Structure 1
Amino acid sequence: METKPQTNKKLEKVADLIGDIRIAMMTTVDEQDNLVSRPMAALQVDEDGTIWFFTQRTSPKVDQIDNNNNRVNLSFADVGDASYVSISGTAEELDDRAKVDELWNPQAKAWFPKGKDDPELILLKVNTHMAEYWSASSSTMVRLVQQATAAVTGNPPKMGENEKVYN
């Protein structure tokens, strides 16, 4: 995913953590008030911390976003590096062909066989309001030793950074 330098420097760490994670789990609320999550390919984090996705105009998530004051949550996980990010924000649908051209990539053709001119193709723009991240500061082996030590001593392990960032 493309990540641009952030105007809000507090979001730099968030952009760095999610930059190598291609898939986010996007959570919305359905008509029965259930939380519903689905994998989405993140395309870009722009300089304002906005995260861009392609979607189908008639996708149920579009109605769910509209019916829930546009509120969504995005979850990113890199289990190998023990990095996790949760982003709360608002989403909006856009039919912006110039932005579609900018973000188009060959993998998108699997979901949009008619290409970037597919009339079903629109953008989801997720504006970050708050992000929380957990990031391990050491290797897997060190983390395992810390966990084992914690199990023996009864003291919680110090596993890395955890911070909430507001945009």
Structure 2
Amino acid sequence: MSDKDFTKDKDGLQKMRDLIEVPKVVMMASRLDKIPFSVCPMTLQSMDAQGDLWFFTSKESGLFKDVDYDNRVQIMCSDEEKQKYISIFGNATHIVDQEKVDELWNPLMRNWFDGKEDPNLVLLNVNMENAYYWDNQYNKLVSFFKLVKGAIPEQQPNMGDKGHIDLQDH
């Protein structure tokens, strides 16, 4: 794998857009100050123009309380079919914005909420600071043959990219 690093002003947001498809179920870790930290599955609803990630959560959830205590979160994304993996560190904020709720709402959210007017419904906005990714542009079968080829002495296949994305404003 080759290493590639990006910054927010050097194609970092575009690289994140290329890696993340929304909506997408991700794992979000909170209370990073304690062991074991808390982890829960969340559906990523949107990545906006500024690169912020948007989720729905409940005011009664452990995640909501964790973010009140410490807003640092770690998000793990995995797309095994496309061989893309991302670990994102950022800061989460609770947002009450009915217009944004209307924009992001979809009927599947009724599994967790009593509609858009549910008093416990709140948006969670994550401002990404850093990410680390592994991106194999080749499918699994090609990857398998490249791995086999790599077992042959003096054959080093290109298995894709990995790298760091610094998304902080400098």
What does 1:29-108 correspond to in 2, within 5 Å?
A: 29=31, 33-68=35-70, 70-108=71-109
Residue type of the partner of 2:129? H
> Contact 1:30–1:64 at 8 Å: present in 2 too?
no
Question: Which blocks of at least 5 consecutive residues in structure 1 are unaligned?
Answer: 1-5
Residue 158 of structure 1, CA deviation: 3.0
The one of the two structures with greater contact order (alpha-carbon pairs below 8 A, sep at least 6) is: 2
Partner of 1:131: 131
Q: Give deviations 1:96-121, integer Å, cap 9, x for gaps.
A: 11111111111111111x20000000
Residue 8 of structure 1, CA deviation: 6.8
TM-score calculated relative to the size of structure 2: 0.84
Distance 2:10 2:116 in 1: 31
> Contact 1:14–1:133 at 8 Å: present in 2 too?
no
Distance 2:156 2:29 in 1: 30
> Contact 1:26–1:72 at 8 Å: present in 2 too?
yes
> For 1:11, what is the secondary structure of its paired residue?
helix
Q: Give deviations 1:20-70, integer Å, cap 9, x for gaps.
A: 5611110112785422211101100001110000000111111112222x1
Partner of 1:3: none
> Contact 1:21–1:77 at 8 Å: present in 2 too?
no
Distance 1:31 1:77 in 2: 24
> Contact 1:86–1:132 at 8 Å: present in 2 too?
yes
Distance 2:124 2:67 in 1: 10
**Count of residue correspondences:** 160
Question: Which blocks of at least 5 consecutive residues in structure 2 are unaligned?
Answer: 1-7
> For 1:75, what is the secondary structure of its paired residue?
strand
> Contact 1:7–1:47 at 8 Å: present in 2 too?
no
Q: Which moved more, 1:50-59 or 1:16-25?
A: 16-25
Residue 79 of structure 1, CA deviation: 0.2
Partner of 2:146: 146
Distance 1:7 1:32 in 2: 33
Distance 2:9 2:123 in 1: 22
Residue 156 of structure 1, CA deviation: 6.6
Distance 1:9 1:158 in 2: 22
TM-score calculated relative to the size of structure 1: 0.86
Give the fraction of aligned pairs with identical amino acids, expressed as a percent: 34
> Contact 2:54–2:125 at 8 Å: present in 1 too?
yes
